Amino acid sequence: MRTTARWAATLGLTATAVCGPLAGPALAAPAGLYAPSALVLTVGHGEQAATATPERAVTLSCAPTPSGTHPDPALACAELRGADGDPAALRPRDDVLCTRQYDPVVVTVAGVWQGRRVSYEQTFGNTCAKDAYGSGVFAF
């Protein structure tokens, strides 16, 4: 229970820092020339986010320019643009070979992509399998 609360607190605080509070006028569309694209990405070892211990969390903003605490926001934003903002549409690279060792790693993506809410959770068999998906989005 303590791990779940810690995971939820980490995700909630990071999401609030990136996207702002989720109440009142903050949900209104911005008056700028672009739709917001701000995401929080997390990674932890375990089979599902609710029971995994969070190890890292980064922010990624792709509009108007790539930024955030992600180590390579330009590459991550380019990959997400190619997938229309859908992390589930990312495909593994063909040049990566991974062992079949089972050491589950779960990633989550939450936030907004071009004005649409994003909520994604994926469990990979090990870190190598996670890293094979794109070369930038989950590399943090």
Is 80 inside a domain boundary? yes
Its domain, for residue 104, covers: 2-131
- Kindly report the pTM of this predicted structure: 0.73
Is 8 inside a domain boundary? yes
How many structural domains does the chain have?
A: 1
Is 137 inside a domain boundary? no
Is 44 inside a domain boundary? yes
Among residues 105, 101, 100, 94, which one has the least CA distance to residue 132? 94
The CATH number assigned to the domain holding 116 equals 3.30.350.10
Q: Can you tell me the distance from the alpha carbon of 49 to that of 96, in angstroms, rounded to the nearest whole number?
A: 25
Is 136 inside a domain boundary? no
Is 65 inside a domain boundary? yes
Q: Hey, how many other C-beta atoms are within 10 angstroms of the C-beta on 130?
A: 21
pLDDT score recorded for residue 113: 93
pLDDT score recorded for residue 22: 44
Q: Can you tell me the distance from the alpha carbon of 75 to that of 58, in angstroms, rounded to the nearest whole number?
A: 14
Q: What are the average pLDDT values for consecutive 10-residue runs of the chain, which has 140 residues?
A: 48 48 45 77 94 93 93 94 92 86 95 93 93 83
